Amino acid sequence: MKISWGTAIVMAMISFIAFIMFFVITMSTDDKYSHDLVVEEYYKTELTFEDQLDKTRNATKLSENINLKKTPEGLLVTFPQELTASNISGNVFLYRPSNKQLDSEIPLSLSSHQLLVPERSLIGGRWNIIIDWKYQGEKFYFKEEIIY
């Protein structure tokens, strides 16, 4: 049986349409390809942006800022030595842009100037580390993107 060029073009178009439909259905239904918004309440978060800028300015007034260091045990967060560690309070947000199920929040209650985020909490890849903290009534904000 011989296939004419017109029949071949129609078969090619049908094959292409079937491939595109398969691709669209797979991307729509598979949880592996699910991508969420950066934050759930985007507009509410944007209203606090000026407050974050003020907190960031406060952090730049310190003689040293927060330092992040990768160690075999996990991520070591070091606060400025000039501050009394027991007076530091706040939260450490571990935000994974690619998977919101990996996001976590660690409350700050320090006995020394260092906080260790265990390695089991950080899967390899990009992380946004956000530290929103307070020292003697003054608020501070630190944000850094790392590849762990």
Read off φ and ψ for residue 41, nearest 5 degrees.
-110, 80
Whether 30 and 61 map to the same domain: the answer is no
Q: What is the pLDDT of residues 40-66, one digit of tens each?
A: 677 777 778 888 899 999 888 888 889
Range of the domain at 48: 42-147
- Residues 120-125 have a mean pLDDT of 85
Whether residue 27 sits in one domain with residue 77: no
Whether residues 84 and 130 fall in one domain: yes
> 46 and 96 in one domain?
yes
pLDDT single digits (tens) 10-44? 999 999 999 999 999 988 887 776 665 566 677 77
Give the chain's domain count. 2
Q: Are residues 106 and 122 in the same domain?
A: yes
Q: Could you tell me if 19 and 46 lie in one domain?
A: no
**Do 98 and 138 lie in a common domain?**
yes
Amino acid at 19: F
Question: 72 and 48: one domain?
Answer: yes
Instruction: Give the integer Cα–Cα distance in Å for 85 and 82.
Output: 9
